[in-house]
C-alpha cells in the first residue's frame, strides 16, 4: 500500500473510531482495519457516489454522524456504512475497547435519559444529513 | 457378521453403539470433512475474560477470513460461528441443487450437523406419535439409552411433566439472571399461563452437569456457542472417539457412498474416494443409511434408479421464526458472567389438543453474542445503535419459534440427471398451504400475547425461509403401509431386506420439538431390530 493510502486510512480509522466510541484508535486497530478492508473487498469504492461519500466523511469528520444517520435509512449498502460496520466488529474484538461492550448496564434513569438524548441527536443528524447525502448522490 | 453404516452424525453413532453392543462388527463409511488444521482452538476461559484480554480473539469471534462479519441478509443462509463453519458443506462441496426458497443445509463433515447443534434434546409426547407405526412406550427405552450416552441435563419442572423425563436426566444447568427472573414470573402467574396453553421450563440440553471419565461438566464459560473448549456440550465426535477404541469398529473417512445392491443375502455398497475420485465396493451383511437428509434418500433413489419428479419422496421441516424481545424487568439490572450460552428456557405452546398446532420455543439471552451484528439489522446510525444496544443488551432475549410439519403433496425431494445424463441434481419443491401459514401466524401472535403478560416484549418477528431451522425429516418415513422407499416399524427400508435407516429420514413427520433426540433414539431402535434380524 502506498504511504499516502496508509496515511489516509489512518485518518479514516481515527475519525471513525472517535465517532463510534468517542476514543482514539490504537495502531493495531489501524492495521487490522486495513487488512479487513482488503480481505472483504472493501478497499476501493465501487461507485463514484461511494467515493464522494467517503471523501466527505474524511474531510469533514463532523459530518460522519450525519451521513451515517442518513445512510442508515437511505443508503444502507453504501461503502461508508459497510466500513463503519467492519470497524464496529473490529472494535468489539479488541481487548482495549472490550469494556465498552461487555460492561454492566447503567441504571434505569440513565438509560431513559440516554435513549432520549441519543434519539434526539439521531433525529437532528438525519435532518442535516439527508440533504447532504442527496446532494452527494446527485453531484456528478 | 458385519454392518456398514453410512454417515457419522448423531444417528450413525447411536446405531453403531447399539450394533457393537450386540456383538456385530461395524465399518463406518463417511465423507468426513474436518476443520482445516490451521483452525485455531478455543481457549478454555470465560467470555468476559477472553474479550477483555485475548488479543487473538478475532480468530474465533470473526474468523481468520472475517467470515463472522456478515454482509448478507440474516433471513437467508446460515450463521455458524467461524470455528464451526466447516460443519455445513459449502456450495462447492455438495451436489448441485435446485431448491427454490428452501434452505438446504447439509453436513458432509465428521460428526455431521450435531458438531454445531444447539444441543436441545427433548423427547416427543405420546400424542406426537400419531403418524408413527409405534408409540412412545416403544421408544422410551431408547430415549433412556441415548440420554445415558449423550448426557442430558434438565429439570423435573412443569415442562418435564408434559414430557416423559428419562431416569438418566442430569441435574439442570444454572440459569442466567434474565432467564431465572422470567421463569420466576411464569411460576408466579401459575395456572393463568397454563390455561392459555403455555408451559415453560428449563431447556433440556445435551450438556453435562456431572463430570464423568469421558465428559467434562459445564464450566459456564459462556463460550459454548462459539466452539468446544471442553466436552460438556455433546458432539458426535465424543462418541466417535469412544467407538474408535473398539477393535470391532472401523472409521472409513473420505468416502462417499454412492449406491447399493443386495446380492446373495448380502449388501454391496459402491463408494467413491472424495480425494481421488477412485471407485470401489464394500460388502457387508447389512447396510445402515444414516447420511441424513437428503443424503440417505439420494443413495436409495439412485440405487433403485428412480430419477425425476415422478419418483419424489417427502421432505418436512419446522417452519421457523425468531423474535428478538426486550425483557422489561431486566432493564438496567446487572447480569452474572457465569452462564452457559445455549438455550436457557423452553416453551411449549399448545393452543388446542392437536399436536400439529403446537409451538416449541427456546429462549436465549444475547449476552455472549457480538453487539455489532445487531447494528446491521437496525436502521440506526451506528453510534446511536452501539449506545442503545449497550444499554439494552442485558434485557434482550431471543425467542426461537418452531412449528410442527407434516408431509404433503407440495413438499417433495427428488434427484434428476441433466440432459447429458451425467451430473445429478437435487431438487426440492416446498409449498406450504396458505391456511396453515395463517393459522401458524395466529398461534405465534397468541404465544407472544402470553409472553407480554410476563414482561417479555417482542421487538420484531423474523420469519426465516423454509429449511432455515436445519431440522429436516421424513424422506424415507416409517410407515405401516407397505410402499417403496418407506421404512417398516422396525426401521428396514422397503423393498430391501438388508438395508435399514437410522437418521431423521425415518421420522414420518417433523414434530415441533427439535428432532435429534428422537432420531437418535429411533436409530438405536432400528439398530436393535437389525441386530435381532441378523441373529435370526
Ligand atoms: C446450528 C444448528 C443448531 C441445531 N440445534 C439443534 C437442537 O438444538 N436440537 C436438535 O434436535 N437439533 C438441532 N439441530 C439439528 C441437528 O443437528 C440434526 O438434526 C442432526 O445432527 C442430524 O443428524 P443426522 O445423523 O441425521 O445427520 P447429519 O448430522 O447431517 O450427518 C450426516 C452424515 O452423513 C455423512 N454423509 C452424507 N452423505 C454421505 C455419503 N453419500 N457418503 C458418506 N457419508 C455421507 C456426512 O459426512 C455426515 O457425517 C441443529 C443443527 C444446526 C446446524
Specify the residue for cell string 482445516.
B36
* Start-to-end Cα distance in chain B: 12
Name the 3-class secondary structure at B394. helix
**B257 φ, ψ (degrees, to nearest 5):** -80, 130
- pLDDT tens by residue, chain A, 140 residues: 677 777 889 999 999 999 999 999 999 999 999 999 999 999 999 899 999 999 999 999 999 999 999 999 999 999 999 999 999 999 999 999 998 888 888 899 999 999 999 899 999 999 999 999 999 988 85
Q: Of B290, B270, B292, which Cα lies nearest the Cα of B280?
A: B270
Cβ-defined contact of B53 to A20 (cutoff 8 Å)? no
| pLDDT in the model for residue B379 | 84
Distance from CA of B387 to the nearest CA of A (A): 8
| pLDDT in the model for residue B49 | 95
Specify the residue for cell string 450437523.
B113
- pLDDT tens by residue, chain B, 536 residues: 999 999 999 999 999 999 999 999 999 999 999 988 888 889 999 999 999 999 999 999 999 999 999 887 654 445 789 999 999 998 888 888 999 999 999 999 999 999 999 999 999 999 999 999 999 999 999 999 999 999 999 998 989 888 888 899 999 999 999 999 999 999 999 899 999 999 999 999 999 999 999 999 999 999 999 999 999 999 999 999 999 999 999 999 999 999 999 999 999 999 999 999 999 999 999 999 999 999 999 999 999 999 999 999 999 999 999 999 999 999 999 999 999 999 999 999 999 989 889 999 999 998 888 888 888 778 899 999 988 888 899 999 999 999 999 999 999 999 998 776 678 999 999 999 999 999 999 999 999 999 999 999 999 999 999 999 999 999 999 999 999 999 999 999 999 999 999 999 999 999 999 999 999 999 999 999 999 999 98
Atom of ligand 1 nearest to the CA of B122: 11
Whether residue B525 has a cis bond before it, omega within 30° of 0 = no
Cβ-defined contact of B386 to A73 (cutoff 8 Å)? no
Among A105, A106, A132, most B C-beta atoms within 10 A, so best to mutate, is A105
Name the 3-class secondary structure at B308. coil
Whether residue B42 has a cis bond before it, omega within 30° of 0 = no
Q: What is the rounded distance in angstroms from the CA atom of residue B195 to the CA atom of residue B174?
A: 28
Could you tell me which chain A residue has the CA closest to the CA of B383?
A: A20
The closest CB to that of A114, out of B55, B65, B391, belongs to B391
ipTM > 0.90? Answer: yes
The closest CB to that of B370, out of A32, A89, A104, belongs to A89
Distance from CA of B66 to the nearest CA of A (A): 7
Number of structural domains (chain A) is: 1
Chain centre to alpha carbon of residue B170: 21
B48 CA from centroid of ligand 1 (Å): 31
CB-ligand 1 contact for B12 (6 Å cutoff) = yes
Name the 3-class secondary structure at B476. coil
Q: What is the rounded distance in angstroms from the CA atom of residue B522 to the CA atom of residue B19?
A: 13
| pLDDT in the model for residue B78 | 54
Choose which residue among B10, B28, B117, B342 to substitute to test ligand 1 binding: the one with the highest number of ligand atoms within 8 A of its C-beta.
B117
Contacts B55 to A, Cβ<8 Å:
28, 95
Residue B325 parent element (H or E):
strand B319-327
CB of B96 closer than 8 Å to CB of B426: yes
List CB contacts of B45: < 8 A, sequence separation 6 or more.
Answer: B54, B221, B223, B229
CATH number of B2-33+47-535: 3.50.50.60
B10 CA from centroid of ligand 1 (Å): 7
Could you tell me which chain B residue has the CA closest to the CA of A129?
A: B381
Q: What is the rounded distance in angstroms from the CA atom of residue B450 to the CA atom of residue B444?
A: 10
Cβ-defined contact of A92 to B393 (cutoff 8 Å)? no
Distance from CA of B195 to the nearest CA of A (A): 33
Q: What is the dihedral of CA B491, B495, B498, B501, to 10 degrees?
A: -30
Residue A138: exposure state from Cβ atoms within 10 A (0-12, 13-18, ≥19): exposed
Q: What is the rounded distance in angstroms from the CA atom of residue B534 to the CA atom of residue B525?
A: 14
CB-ligand 1 contact for B300 (6 Å cutoff) = no
Cβ-defined contact of A32 to B391 (cutoff 8 Å)? no
Q: What is the rounded distance in angstroms from the CA atom of residue B363 to the CA atom of residue B180?
A: 11
Q: What is the largest CA-CA distance in chain A?
A: 50
Name the 3-class secondary structure at B402. strand
* ∠ CA B122-B125-B131, rounded to 5°: 115
Chain centre to alpha carbon of residue B509: 15
CB of B474 closer than 8 Å to CB of B404: no
Boundaries of every domain in chain B: 2-33+47-535
- CB half-sphere exposure, B181, CA atoms < 13 A: 19
Sign of CA dihedral B8, B13, B18, B20: positive
Choose which residue among B8, B113, B500, B515 to substitute to test ligand 1 binding: the one with the highest number of ligand atoms within 8 A of its C-beta.
B113
List CB contacts of B465: < 8 A, sequence separation 6 or more.
Answer: B75, B76, B101, B102, B103
- What letters, b where the CB count within 10 A reaches 16 and e where it falls short, cover B104-125? bbbbbbbbbbbbbbbbbbbbbb
CB of B368 closer than 8 Å to CB of B226: yes
pTM for the model: 0.95
CB of B375 closer than 8 Å to CB of A88: yes
Q: Of B199, B400, B201, which Cα lies nearest the Cα of B318?
A: B400
List CB contacts of A134: < 8 A, sequence separation 6 or more.
Answer: A74
Q: Is residue A86 within 8 angstroms of chain B, CB to CB?
A: yes
Q: What is the rounded distance in angstroms from the CA atom of residue B383 to the CA atom of residue B71?
A: 18
CB of B424 closer than 8 Å to CB of B378: no
Could you tell me which chain B residue has the CA closest to the CA of A97?
A: B52
Q: Of B289, B257, B276, B512, which Cα lies nearest the Cα of B404?
A: B512
Q: Which domain holds residue A105?
A: 3-138
Q: Across the strands, what pairs with B28?
A: B5, B251
Amino acid at each position: 500500500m502506498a504511504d499516502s493510502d496508509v496515511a489516509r486510512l489512518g485518518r479514516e480509522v481515527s475519525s471513525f473510531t472517535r465517532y463510534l466510541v468517542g476514543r482514539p484508535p490504537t495502531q493495531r486497530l489501524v492495521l487490522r482495519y486495513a487488512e479487513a478492508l482488503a480481505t472483504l473487498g472493501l478497499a476501493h469504492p465501487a461507485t463514484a457516489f461511494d467515493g464522494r461519500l467517503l471523501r466527505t466523511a474524511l474531510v469533514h469528520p463532523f459530518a460522519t454522524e450525519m451521513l451515517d444517520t442518513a445512510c442508515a435509512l437511505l443508503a444502507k449498502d453504501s461503502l461508508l456504512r459497510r466500513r463503519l460496520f467492519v470497524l464496529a466488529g473490529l472494535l468489539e474484538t479488541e481487548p482495549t475497547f472490550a469494556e465498552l461492550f461487555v460492561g454492566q448496564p447503567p441504571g434505569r434513569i440513565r438509560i431513559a435519559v440516554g435513549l432520549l438524548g441519543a434519539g434526539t441527536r439521531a433525529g437532528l443528524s438525519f435532518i442535516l444529513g439527508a440533504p447532504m447525502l442527496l446532494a452527494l448522490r446527485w453531484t456528478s | 457378521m458385519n454392518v456398514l453404516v453410512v454417515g457419522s452424525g448423531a444417528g450413525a453413532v447411536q446405531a453403531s453403539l447399539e450394533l457393537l453392543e450386540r456383538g456385530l462388527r461395524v465399518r463406518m463409511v463417511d465423507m468426513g470433512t474436518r476443520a482445516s488444521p490451521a483452525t485455531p482452538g478455543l481457549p478454555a476461559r470465560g467470555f468476559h475474560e477472553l474479550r477483555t484480554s485475548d488479543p487473538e480473539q478475532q480468530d474465533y469471534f470473526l474468523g481468520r477470513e472475517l467470515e463472522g462479519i456478515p454482509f448478507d441478509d440474516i433471513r437467508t443462509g446460515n450463521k455458524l460461528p467461524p470455528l464451526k463453519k466447516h460443519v455445513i458443506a459449502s456450495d462447492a462441496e455438495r451436489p448441485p441443487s435446485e431448491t427454490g426458497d428452501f434452505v438446504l443445509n447439509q453436513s458432509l463433515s465428521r460428526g455431521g450437523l450435531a458438531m454445531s447443534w444447539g444441543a436441545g434434546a427433548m423427547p416427543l409426547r405420546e400424542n406426537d406419535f400419531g403418524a408413527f407405526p409405534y408409540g412412545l412406550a416403544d421408544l422410551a427405552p431408547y430415549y433412556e439409552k441415548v440420554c445415558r450416552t449423550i448426557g442430558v441435563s434438565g429439570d423435573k419442572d412443569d415442562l418435564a411433566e408434559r414430557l416423559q423425563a428419562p431416569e438418566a436426566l442430569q441435574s439442570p444447568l444454572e440459569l442466567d439472571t434474565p432467564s431465572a427472573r422470567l421463569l420466576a414470573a411464569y411460576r408466579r402467574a401459575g395456572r393463568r399461563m397454563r390455561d392459555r396453553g403455555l408451559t415453560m421450563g428449563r431447556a433440556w440440553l445435551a450438556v453435562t452437569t456431572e463430570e464423568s471419565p469421558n465428559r467434562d461438566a459445564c464450566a459456564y464459560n459462556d463460550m459454548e456457542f462459539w466452539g468446544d473448549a471442553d466436552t460438556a456440550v455433546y458432539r458426535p465426535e465424543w462418541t466417535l472417539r469412544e467407538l474408535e477404541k473398539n477393535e470391532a469398529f472401523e472409521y472409513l473417512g473420505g468416502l462417499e457412498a454412492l449406491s447399493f445392491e443386495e446380492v446373495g443375502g448380502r449388501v454391496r455398497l459402491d463408494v467413491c474416494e472424495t480425494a481421488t475420485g477412485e471407485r470401489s465396493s464394500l460388502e457387508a451383511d447389512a447396510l445402515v443409511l444414516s447420511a441424513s437428509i437428503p443424503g440417505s434418500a439420494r443413495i436409495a433413489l439412485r440405487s433403485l434408479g428412480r430419477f425425476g419428479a415422478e419418483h419424489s419422496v417427502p421432505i418436512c421441516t419446522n417452519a421457523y421464526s425468531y423474535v428478538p424481545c426486550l425483557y422489561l424487568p431486566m432493564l438496567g439490572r446487572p447480569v452474572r458472567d457465569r452462564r452457559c450460552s445455549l438455550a436457557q428456557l423452553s416453551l411449549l405452546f399448545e393452543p388446542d389438543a392437536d399436536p400439529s398446532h403446537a409451538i416449541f420455543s427456546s429462549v436465549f439471552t444475547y449476552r455472549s453474542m457480538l453487539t455489532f451484528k445487531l447494528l446491521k439489522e437496525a436502521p440506526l446510525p451506528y453510534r446511536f445503535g452501539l449506545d442503545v444496544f449497550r444499554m439494552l443488551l442485558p434485557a434482550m432475549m431471543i425467542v426461537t419459534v418452531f412449528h410442527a410439519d407434516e408431509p404433503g403433496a407440495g413438499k417433495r425431494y427428488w434427484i434428476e440427471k441433466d440432459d447429458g445424463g451425467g451430473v445429478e441434481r437435487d431438487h426440492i419443491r416446498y409449498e406450504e398451504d396458505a391456511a396453515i401459514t395463517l393459522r401458524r401466524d395466529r398461534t405465534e401472535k397468541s404465544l407472544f400475547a402470553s409472553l407480554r403478560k410476563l414482561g417479555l416484549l417482542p421487538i420484531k418477528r423474523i420469519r426465516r425461509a423454509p429449511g432455515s431451522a436445519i431440522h429436516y425429516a421424513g424422506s424415507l418415513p416409517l410407515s405401516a403401509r407397505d410402499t417403496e422407499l418407506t421404512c417398516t416399524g422396525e426401521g428396514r427400508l422397503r423393498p430391501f431386506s438388508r438395508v435399514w435407516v437410522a437418521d431423521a429420514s425415518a421420522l414420518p413427520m417433523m414434530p415441533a420439538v427439535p428432532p435429534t433426540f428422537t432420531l437418535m433414539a429411533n436409530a438405536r431402535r432400528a439398530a436393535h431390530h437389525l441386530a435381532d434380524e441378523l441373529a435370526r
